[in-house]
Chain A
Amino acid sequence: MSVFLPEPGTRRTSRNLWGLVVAAAFAWLVGYVVNGRVWDWLVFDVVGLDPESRLGEAVHFFVYDTTKILLLLSGIIFIVTVLRSFVTIERTRALLGGRREGLGNVAAAGLGVVTPFCSCSAVPAFIGFVAAGVPLGITLSFLIASPMVNEVAVILILGMFGWKVAVLYVVFGLLVAIVAGYVLGRLRLERWVEPFVFETKLRGDVIEPSTDMPWEDRFAFGWQEVKTIVGKIWPYLLVGIGLGAAIHGWAPEDLFASWAGAGNPLAVPIAVLVGIPLYSSAAGVIPLVQALADKGVALGTVLAFMMAVVALSVPEMILLRRVLKPKLLATFVGVVGVGILTVGYLFNVVI
């Protein structure tokens, strides 16, 4: 897929560029469609493993899932990044300034999904929002939605559990962000924000960067992002899928059903507590989680676990501690945690 990155100094005309993007999209589609058949043939016919054997099943699961997830990741990250190059956090802030609570929380959660944002920018974004007059609860709705409904998590869920679960995850993720932000806003916790945030003065104009980028720069940016994200998460992905493959092949069908099935009320809180410290390995945790779900862990428990992994992470808490006093940070974790717990229980009851 590296073909469509223009080399420095030899920029292609835009028609060539679009041709390359279309060709890459076609190659991607072919790859996705033949993935299963190619591995069937290689693993079972060429290597000669028995499709009924545990080893055969585990090896096939590993290579097939790895290929599928890498394809989904690179395709969707590319598209999302190109689309996001039209949105900037500065524009989002302008849209949210002066909004009332309630609808403002809905807007913030929605914008949290589409605004390009890295958790390493959580602190400058928080200060920038609050200093520009965006209410605290609305700012927090944004900060919860952004990592929770993040493209890597959604793609992995789509690949592992299908589109229905992915849609439910997005809807419930947004709901948690909206409600938790609204509740935190109503609690009037401004006194627990570090005072320097309110003292920060914005000088000069608000910068509207990179909105007039030419298409080739947007594509180059998209490809860059694919390389960065896949380059960062592939080791976790391989370990996660490997563990998943082992569980898939060797663990008995109902291994977890007895203690982590829908019948055990403690399963959801335990899943959330285990999920909070896991963070950088979100990409590796989800393939593992699919194997757990296969072996009887209830889906609500699985979703709560995933939400805790992506939305409440220790590294992000440490960053946010710079702007939030410990009491507010604890309240934040508590309210979001309760939201995630509710989603988990709700799912287990409904499904």
Chain B
Amino acid sequence: MKIEVLGTGCKNCNALEAATSRALQELGMDVAIEKVTDYGEIVAYGVMSTPALAIDGEVKTTGRVPSVRELTDILTGATA
């Protein structure tokens, strides 16, 4: 499983990374979170509002920081 946080280091991008790692912790999953900060790469994902979360190359959310609960839903949906 590959988890990527797409964003260029704004406050919300760090918040998304923190929330995602909390969600992973709650699920007892040990997966590293990768950060994608290159503008060209972010846009190539089809993302125009950061922060965005991509799992295995598929963008799940953009433009907002979902709650930890929503993130655990997304993460369990992705592993199932």
A binding-site residues for B, Cβ under 8 Å: 8-9, 88-90, 93, 116-118, 120-121, 123-125, 127-129, 131, 196, 199-207, 209-210, 217, 220-221, 224, 322-323
- In the bound assembly, the distance between CA atoms of A204 and B67 in angstroms comes to 27
Partner of B44, one of A201, A205, A322: A201
Size range of the chain B interface in the assembly: 20 to 34
B positions within 8 Å CB-CB of A: 8, 10-12, 39-40, 42-50, 59-65, 67-70
Shortest CB-to-CB span from B48 to chain A, Å, is 4
- Asked if B12 contacts A118 (CB within 8 A), the reply is yes
CB–CB A89/B48 < 8 A: yes
Cβ-defined contact, B69 with A9, below 8 A? yes
Q: Which residues of A contact B65 (CB under 8 A)?
A: 224
In the complex, the answer to whether A127 meets B43 with C-beta atoms within 8 Å is yes
A-B contact count (CB 8 A): 88
Find out whether the CB atom of B44 lies under 8 angstroms from the CB atom of A210: no
Q: How far is the CA of A181 from the CA of B44 in the complex (A)?
A: 25
A139 to chain B, nearest CB (A): 11
| Alpha-carbon distance between A210 and B10 when the two chains are bound, in angstroms | 21
Q: How far is the CA of A201 from the CA of B61 in the complex (A)?
A: 21
Establish whether residues B40 and A210, one from each chain, have CB atoms under 8 Å apart when the complex forms.
no
7 residue pairs bridging A and B, Cβ less than 8 Å apart? A8-B69, A93-B48, A124-B39, A127-B43, A207-B59, A217-B70, A224-B65
Residue A121 contacts which of B11, B45, B49, B68 (CB distance < 8 angstroms)?
Answer: B49
Which residue of the partner chain A has the closest CB to B42?
A124
A322–B39 CB distance below 8 A: yes
Bound Cα distance A206, B44 (Å): 10
* Closest chain A CB from B38 CB (angstroms): 10
Q: Give the chain A neighbours of B39 by CB distance below 8 A.
A: 123-124, 127, 322-323
**A200 touching B40 by the CB < 8 A rule?**
yes
B69 touches A124 (CB 8 A): no
Partner of B49, one of A89, A200, A221: A89
Nearest Cβ on chain B to A77's Cβ, whole angstroms: 14
Q: What residues of A have a CB within 8 angstroms of the CB of B62 in the complex?
A: 88, 90, 207, 209-210
A274 to chain B, nearest CB (A): 27
**In the complex the two chains form, what is the Cα distance from A200 to B62 in whole Å?**
19
For residue B62, give the distance in angstroms from its CB to the closest CB of chain A: 5
Contact A89 B63 (CB under 8 A): yes
Tell me which of A121, A205, A221 contacts B48 (CB under 8 A).
A121
Report yes or no: A220 in contact with B43, Cβ–Cβ below 8 A.
no
- Are A90's CB and B40's CB within 8 A? no
CB distance from B1 to the nearest CB of A (A): 19
* Distance in angstroms between the alpha carbons of A128 and B6 in the assembled complex: 14
Whether B49 and A117, one on each chain, are in contact in the complex, defined by CB atoms closer than 8 angstroms, is yes
Contacts of A121 in B (CB 8 A): 48-50, 63
- The 8 Å CB contact of B43, one of A88, A200, A209, A210, is A200
CB distance B69 to A209 under 8 Å? no
